[in-house]
Amino acid sequence: MLNSIRKVKKKAWIVIGVSAAFVLASAGVVYMDIKSIGEEELATQAAAMQNQAADRRIAQIRNIEDRVLRERYRVGEYVKVLPDDKEINDFVQKISEFSAASGVEITKLDDSAARSRGRKKAASAFEEAAYKLLLDGTLSEFLDFMHRFETHDRFIKVKSFAIKNQQSAAQGEVEGPQRHSIEMTLETYVYNPGKGAQQVDIMNADKRSLALLETEPIADSLELETYDYLPQPERRDPFADPRLKAEVSAENQRIAAQNVEEQKKTLDGLLDRFAAIRKALDEEGLITSFVKKVEFGRQLSDQMAKLAVEIESAHKNATFRDKALAESFQRDLAQPFGVLYGERKKVDERGLAQRELKVELEHMNAAFTAGRYEEVVGSARAIMAAKTAANGEEVAKIFREIEYLAGRAQARVEFASIQLELKGYVFEPDRPERAVVIINDRAYSRGEVLADGVIVGRIDLSRVVFLYKDEEIEKPLD
């Protein structure tokens, strides 16, 4: 009995031990699982933080790309004032032109730096091109020469100059303005975007640039500042030896007076043309015929455009060197004409008014019906000459109708000049397709073509219908 009890207790302790071991093992497994879950949660949080940081960096990249696109556009606008390769190669010719126009003599020109710029690898997209000159001329001539570069439509920098007087007091008195030996350095740049740092490609760059400019236009623009140089050769030369007495010879006085007279003659001619244009502007407002007004206005605009070119040329070339004439040129011509011409260009850019065109089209239709075909052609020619790209679709539609009507009228004008003498016909009422008409002593049936491209159409008892350039034109049979 005791042995049985002991065996039962032993089994019970074994069961308890095994259960305890299982519980401990299970607790260990649960602990390990909880630890693993915690580590996974920490890894997930770290990945989420990395993703957020990546998103922030991606957003920053977009902003950086936008800034780069805007800067690229700004650089593109700025480099427009820089000369291109062809202009650099032809720049020596431009220097010679400025020399001849100003009177300065070029005794030496060193352009080796400009010619060798492409032979070595450039560290920047902007390549320097320098020219060294040795000149001979008066101060007034040199200032005129320098002014032409400083007001050139390309960026040309006068980097430095040094003036040395060639005459001294030991030489005694001299006639006319004193001449100097002048060292001068000119400098400009050529933009080569393919050199220097490699440009990074940006996806959809053109489309994005347009969108950025529409959202936030770039307000700043690069404009070359210019000025009007008025030569004053009578002023004292500060680089001349003050002990020298500069005298103007009778011959030099005669030449100077002749130059002033020629300048005055040129200015008077320009002023006369400006007065004629002002008178024409007043006359334009009194014209009632639409076609005549359009033709008159087109010719007037052409005259104003030609005068504008000549005024601009006089500006650039400093045509009027006499101070009084230069002031008159600005006050009486350049400034008032500039205002009128600016207003005229705005009128021309607006194009023809839709209402006026509709009224004129009605007049043209009435003239066509009345057989005044040459009038229709003339009206269309004047109107089409005034056509501009600023006209909208409705106006363009009226233009197409005018062109079509003018084409029909032109065909009838040409047809009237063709010699067609109808001398007889043969017509069978029961068989009209066999009708024959005698034209210029020759028999023609329906569908036959005359030498001038005229096609014989229908023939009946009272008329012949011809087809010429898609236009049906009748001629009666006597």
Residue type, 301: S
- By DSSP bridging, strand 463-468 and strand 455-459 are antiparallel
Write down the pLDDT at residue 257.
63
Range 22-47 average pLDDT: 60
59: pLDDT strictly greater than 60: yes
- Distance of CA 157 to CAs 43, 130, 180, 223, 243, Å? 63, 9, 21, 15, 34
- What is the band of 276 on the pLDDT scale with cuts at 50, 70, 90? very high
Both structure tokens of 157? 């920098």
Write down the pLDDT at residue 165.
73
Token look-up 């329906």 returns 446
Write down the pLDDT at residue 288.
75
Both structure tokens of 226? 């210019």
Rounded Cα distance between 85 and 191, Å, is 9
Short-list 468, 392, 461, 469, CA closest to 427: 461
Is the distance from CB of 447 to CB of 467 less than 8 angstroms? no
Write down the pLDDT at residue 170.
47
Range 9-20 average pLDDT: 60
Token look-up 């031990």 returns 17
Q: How many CB atoms lie within 10 A of CB 176?
A: 16
Range 33-54 average pLDDT: 67
Question: Is the whole model's pTM more than 0.75, yes or no?
Answer: no
Whole-angstrom distance between the N-terminal and C-terminal Cα of the chain?
161
- What is the band of 455 on the pLDDT scale with cuts at 50, 70, 90? very high
Which residues, in sequence order, are CB contacts of 199 under 8 Å at separation 6+? 193
**Which 3 state secondary structure label does DSSP give 107?**
strand
Range 224-235 average pLDDT: 64
CATH number of 85-215: 3.30.70.60
Rounded Cα distance between 114 and 127, Å, is 9
Rounded Cα distance between 92 and 98, Å, is 10
Rounded Cα distance between 341 and 301, Å, is 9
- φ, ψ for residue 246, nearest 5 deg: -85, 120
Which residues, in sequence order, are CB contacts of 375 under 8 Å at separation 6+? 364, 367
Task: Give the class (CATH, top level) of 422-476.
Answer: mainly beta
Short-list 273, 328, 331, 329, CA closest to 302: 273
Which residues, in sequence order, are CB contacts of 85 under 8 Å at separation 6+? 190
Per DSSP, 352 falls in state -
Domain ranges of the chain: 2-79, 85-215, 250-350, 354-416, 422-476
Write down the pLDDT at residue 169.
46
- φ, ψ for residue 211, nearest 5 deg: -65, -40
Q: DSSP states of 322-351 as a string?
A: SHHHHHHIIIIIIHHHHHHHHHHHHHHHH-
Residue type, 365: N
**3-state SS string over 167-223?**
CCHHHCCEECCCEEEEEEEEEEEEECCCCCCCCCCCCCHHHHHHHHHHHCCCCCCCC
**Which range among 52-66, 207-221, 354-368, 460-474 has the greatest average pLDDT?**
460-474
Sign of the dihedral defined by the CA atoms of residues 390, 392, 395, 400, in that order: positive
Write down the pLDDT at residue 199.
66
**pLDDT, tens only, 66-92:** 777 666 666 666 656 666 666 667 777
26: pLDDT strictly greater than 70: no
201: pLDDT strictly greater than 80: no
Strand partners, 418: none
- By DSSP bridging, strand 174-175 and strand 246-247 are parallel
Helix 290-317 × helix 335-350 angle, to 10° = 140
- By DSSP bridging, strand 126-138 and strand 105-110 are antiparallel
- What is the band of 248 on the pLDDT scale with cuts at 50, 70, 90? very low
Rounded Cα distance between 421 and 478, Å, is 11
**pLDDT, tens only, 379-417:** 888 887 766 655 567 778 888 898 899 999 999 999 999
**Which range among 70-79, 86-95, 249-258, 439-448 has the greatest average pLDDT?**
439-448
Write down the pLDDT at residue 131.
86
Higher pLDDT, 471 or 19: 471
**pLDDT, tens only, 289-322:** 777 777 788 888 889 999 999 988 887 777 887 7
- What is the band of 51 on the pLDDT scale with cuts at 50, 70, 90? confident
Q: DSSP states of 108-138 as a string?
A: EEE-HHHHTTTSS--SSSEEEEEEEEEEEEE
Range 37-46 average pLDDT: 68
Per DSSP, 449 falls in state B
**Which 3 state secondary structure label does DSSP give 162?**
strand
**Which range among 210-224, 381-395, 417-431 has the greatest average pLDDT?**
417-431
